[in-house]
Amino acid sequence: MNSENLFKEFETDEAGSLPGVYELNIVSGGCRMYGYLLLPDKRIPGPYPAVLMSHGFPGYTTNNDLELALMRAGCVVIHMNHRGAWGSEGSYLFTNLRDDLVAVAKWAANPAIAGQYDIDTGNIFLVGHSMGGQTVLNAAKELPFVRGIAALAAYDTGAAFRYGMEKELFLMIETEGRCLKMKSAGEVFENALDNILELSILNECDLLAKHNILLVEASLDTVAPADKMMKPLERELKKLGANVQYETITSGHSFSGQRMKLTQLLGKWIEKTVV
């Protein structure tokens, strides 16, 4: 991988070396999740680090720019839509998110799949924004083979209840979640309420601390305020001696005006963490 190529392309494409875009469907909980895999230009030698992306709630803020930049730098990038989101089968529930990503990670680490897409199974990374940040942090606790986790403006449903943000959470589910397949906003909210401990990113930090971790704060974030959601996690991880890098970007929750800075930060962190 070479982070110098995050914003660089080959002068021309060549037949036989073209970057690949492959449609995927991966089963989680008996449901098919749909997405795609990006494969680098074959003039970049493999095997390649793999970056598994987890979208936020419901996923309006896309990370396609990050994905294409990481592909240019020499990563295989896997984007899957969680159950009940953006055409994937099943119903959307917060407790499904971790299991969905665990299924994708185990799929990518399967020797047959890794061989097909030239994935370096020693360098698999999980990257998530907002609710996706919570998802990658929780999934990593069940995936000891993962090389690193990057959580970008991570949301923590556990913190939402601890700090009296229940109303904001319910309104988010009721309004932004209309594009999702769910029985009702109430059911999704109750799913969060009934599983506060399991969903909290502070739960089982000792398992998370075994990984390389990047936490990126958006200092103007009013959706997932870092002082309530990510900074407590950073403090706990440092107590446990984790290899955690904490960065702050002056931007709002989606990093809309600072996407290139975010891309460079993420790409350079992955590059230095690869073994």
| pLDDT band at 61; cut points 50, 70, 90 | confident
Checking if the pLDDT of 60 tops 90, the result is: no
pLDDT at 59: 79
- Average of pLDDT values for 175-197? 92
Cis status, amide bond into 225, omega within 30 of 0: no
pLDDT of 62 reads 85
* Residue 177, pLDDT score: 86
As a residue count, the chain comes to 275
High-pLDDT (> 90) share of the chain, %:
95
pLDDT reported for residue 196:
93
Q: What is the pTM of this model?
A: 0.95
pLDDT band at 17 (very low <50, low <70, confident <90, very high): very high
The boundaries of the domain holding residue 189 are: 3-273
pLDDT band at residue 187 under the 50/70/90 scheme: very high
Residues 65-117: tens digit of each pLDDT: 999 999 999 999 999 999 999 999 999 999 999 999 999 999 999 999 999 99
pLDDT tens-digit readout, 204-258: 999 999 999 999 999 999 999 999 999 999 999 999 999 999 999 999 999 999 9
> Which CATH number do you get for residue 55?
3.40.50.1820
Domain tally, the chain: 1
pLDDT grade, residue 27 (50/70/90)?
very high
